[in-house]
């Protein structure tokens, strides 16, 4: 039974790196019919609340990554806030002391810091000198009597700590490079190493899938598992996501919160698809995947070992592909809030005019990379009479001859039957020919008159969807239109 977890600290938002880690965990769980656990690592936090993790939860929900156990849904291993498991962590730390695997340390943090700084000054690396590991019983008694605060340090045994990493293969660390690390602070707060291991044991996690930056933490954790007499889970360390400058992705590289991408008009399925292929491959050249297809194809072995640079252009491409593939009905649902915000929504779009708007979306959706662009393309269809872009007018409406020809065209279109693509085109071309004007000139002028813009989808399709009445009205208004000087 596969049990994986995503364990973010509540920073307020889900960044793309975390999102991909969550995605890989989720994919692995779903692929194997396992359990995906959401656990909040807030050991340091004053208090934990649903509010603090709202940003992360929003991101996960938007991406469609649902969890089987977690803070809100509960589960057999609750609570899922690490801060609510502190007593358990303390108990475990004391147990290690009793078992002789850990010891009390009375050294102060200031002292440590000073020694560390000294060593650094000499260009050396400082590791804890085990002062407290060697204290005599008398010394300890005196320290205790004086009420000196004590931390608990793990006693790192000599030897080597190997573990198998599902993406990197076998990795081994010489314990000599590990110091006796603190597992319980002098204020009785557990440290990260203790908390993760304790919780992962308690929650029966079978596979730890997390960022590459944890690989050097892993031997310490493996040592803890061994001290607890528990077989460590399998590890899979996924490479980091880098910015274009090859540095770890951060705010200065632009949007790093997944919800920011939502705001920018990206589809969650595009984000998921893009993130999945960033550092993972199905082993062939396939690139476009739905969420379900990813689940079916996903393997931890397919994760590559090297870091990956975040490529926004490729994200755009995925988004464009997924927009084009989405049914127009689904697309309309995604657009509703945006249309409302833009003041373009009317209820008949969901009722009497739904067939019409779906046809419009069919026409427009292959042309855009983002939802905002789609909204923009939609505007001429949803407002009464769109404003005319001055530069477009200057380009195609500057000739008085062409402007008056638009009126002629309006009259012709008033009676053409049926009001269809082929008949409209024939009418327009005939009108242009009779006037001795190039058809292209009239086409462009018509586009500007009707949509207000120099570019649009295929003009004749646009005219059909706009409808005769609207087209005639918009053409006629040009008679009274005065182009800017």
Partner RNA sequence: GUCCCCAUCGUCCAGAGGCCCAGGACGUGGCCCUUUCAAGGCCAAAACACGGGUUCGAAUCCCGUUGGGGACGCCA
Q: How many CB atoms lie within 10 A of CB 356?
A: 14
Q: Measured from the CB atom, is 427 or 461 closer to RNA?
A: 461
Q: Does 458 bind RNA (CB under 7 A)?
A: yes
Q: Measured from the CB atom, is 429 or 434 closer to RNA?
A: 429
Piece of the chain touching RNA by CB under 7 A; list 16-24, 175-183, 200-208, 345-353: 175-183
Q: Which of 251, 314, 369, 438 is catalytic?
A: 251
Residue choice 142, 324, 333, 422 for contact with RNA (CB under 7 A): 324
Question: Catalytic residue at 246?
Answer: no
Q: Write down the least CB distance from residue 1 to RNA, Å.
A: 26
Contact by Cβ (8 Å): 103, 132: yes
Residue choice 86, 234, 437, 454 for contact with RNA (CB under 7 A): 454
Q: Measured from the CB atom, is 67 or 163 closer to RNA?
A: 163
Residue choice 56, 156, 182, 205 for contact with RNA (CB under 7 A): 182
Residue choice 31, 185, 353, 477 for contact with RNA (CB under 7 A): 185
Cα–Cα distance list, 189 to 128, 256, 454 (Å): 20, 31, 65
> Using CB atoms within 10 A of its CB, is residue 313 exposed (0-12), middle (13-18) or buried (19+)?
exposed
Piece of the chain touching RNA by CB under 7 A; list 261-269, 304-312, 336-344, 404-412: 304-312
Q: Which of residues 345-384 bind RNA (CB under 7 A)?
A: 366-368
Q: Which of residues 388-417 bind RNA (CB under 7 A)?
A: none
Q: Measured from the CB atom, is 139 or 336 closer to RNA?
A: 139
Q: Write down the least CB distance from residue 187 to RNA, Å.
A: 6
Of the candidates 283, 260, 270, 382, the one whose C-alpha atom is nearest the C-alpha of residue 317 is: 270
Q: Does 112 bind RNA (CB under 7 A)?
A: yes
Q: Does 460 bind RNA (CB under 7 A)?
A: yes
Q: Write down the least CB distance from residue 107 to RNA, Å.
A: 5
Helix then strand then coil, in percent of the chain rounded to 5, is: 55, 10, 35
Q: Does 212 bind RNA (CB under 7 A)?
A: yes
81 beta partners:
40
Q: How many CB atoms lie within 10 A of CB 264?
A: 14
Of the candidates 395, 380, 382, 394, the one whose C-alpha atom is nearest the C-alpha of residue 452 is: 380
Give Rg (Cα) of the chain: 32
Q: Write down the least CB distance from residue 431 to RNA, Å.
A: 14
Straight-line distance from the first to the last Cα atom of the chain, in angstroms, rounded to the nearest whole number: 74
Residue choice 32, 58, 94, 126 for contact with RNA (CB under 7 A): 126
Structure tokens at 213: 């930056």
Q: Write down the least CB distance from residue 118 to RNA, Å.
A: 13
Q: Measured from the CB atom, is 242 or 466 closer to RNA?
A: 242
Q: Does 471 bind RNA (CB under 7 A)?
A: no
Q: Does 46 bind RNA (CB under 7 A)?
A: no
> Which own/partner pairs from 20-23 qualify as long-range (CB within 8 Å, at least 24 positions apart)?
20/238, 20/241, 20/275, 20/276, 20/278, 20/279, 21/209, 21/210, 21/211, 21/238, 22/60, 22/63, 22/65, 23/63, 23/65, 23/272, 23/275, 23/276
Q: Does 427 bind RNA (CB under 7 A)?
A: no
Contact by Cβ (8 Å): 367, 415: no
Distance CA 167, CA 10 (A): 27
Piece of the chain touching RNA by CB under 7 A; list 73-81, 173-181, 329-337, 466-474: 173-181
Active site residues: 251
């Amino acid at each position: 039974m596969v049990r994986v977890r995503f364990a973010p600290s509540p920073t307020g938002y889900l960044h793309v790196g975390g999102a991909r880690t969550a995605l890989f965990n989720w994919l692995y769980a779903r692929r194997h019919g396992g359990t995906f656990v959401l656990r909040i690592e807030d050991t340091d936090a004053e208090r934990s609340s649903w509010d603090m993790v709202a940003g992360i939860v929003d991101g996960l929900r938007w991406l469609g990554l649902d969890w089987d156990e977690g803070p809100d849904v509960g589960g057999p291993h609750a609570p899922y806030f690490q801060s609510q498991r502190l007593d358990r962590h303390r108990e475990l730390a004391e147990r290690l002391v009793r078992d002789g695997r850990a010891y009390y340390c009375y050294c102060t943090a200031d002292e440590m810091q000073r020694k560390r700084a000294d060593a650094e000054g000499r260009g050396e690396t400082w590791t804890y000198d085990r002062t407290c590991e060697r204290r005599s019983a008398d010394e300890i008694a005196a320290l205790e009597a004086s009420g000196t605060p004590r931390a608990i340090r793990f006693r790192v045994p000599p030897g080597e700590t190997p573990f198998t990493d599902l993406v990197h293969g076998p990795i081994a660390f010489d314990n000599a490079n590990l110091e006796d690390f603190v597992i319980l602070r002098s204020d009785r707060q557990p440290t990260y190493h203790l908390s993760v291991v304790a919780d992962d044991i308690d929650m029966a996690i079978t596979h730890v899938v997390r960022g590459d930056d944890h690989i050097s933490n892993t031997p310490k954790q493996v040592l803890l598992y061994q001290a607890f007499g528990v077989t460590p889970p399998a590890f899979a360390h996924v490479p980091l996501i880098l910015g274009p400058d090859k540095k770890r992705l951060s705010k200065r590289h632009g949007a790093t919160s997944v919800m920011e991408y939502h705001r920018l008009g990206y589809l969650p399925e595009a984000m998921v698809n893009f993130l999945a292929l960033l550092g993972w491959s199905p082993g062939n050249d396939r690139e476009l995947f739905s969420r379900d297809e990813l689940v079916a194809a996903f393997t931890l072995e397919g994760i590559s070992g090297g870091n990956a640079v975040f490529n926004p252009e490729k994200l755009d491409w995925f988004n464009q592909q997924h927009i084009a593939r989405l049914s127009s009905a689904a697309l309309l649902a995604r657009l509703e809030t945006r249309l409302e915000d833009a003041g373009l929504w009317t209820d008949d779009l969901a009722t009497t005019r739904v067939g019409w708007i779906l046809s419009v979306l069919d026409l427009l959706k292959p042309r855009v990379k983002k939802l905002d662009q789609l909204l923009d393309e939609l505007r001429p269809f949803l407002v009464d009479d769109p404003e005319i872009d001055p530069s477009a007018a200057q380009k195609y409406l500057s000739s008085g001859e062409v402007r008056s020809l638009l009126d002629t065209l309006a009259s012709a279109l008033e009676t053409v039957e049926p009001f269809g693509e082929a008949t409209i085109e024939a009418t327009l071309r005939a009108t242009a020919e009779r006037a001795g004007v190039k058809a292209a000139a009239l086409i462009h002028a018509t586009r500007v008159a009707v949509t207000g813009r120099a570019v649009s989808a295929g003009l004749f399709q646009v005219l059909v969807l706009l409808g005769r009445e609207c087209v005639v009205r918009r053409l006629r208004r040009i008679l009274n239109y005065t182009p800017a000087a």
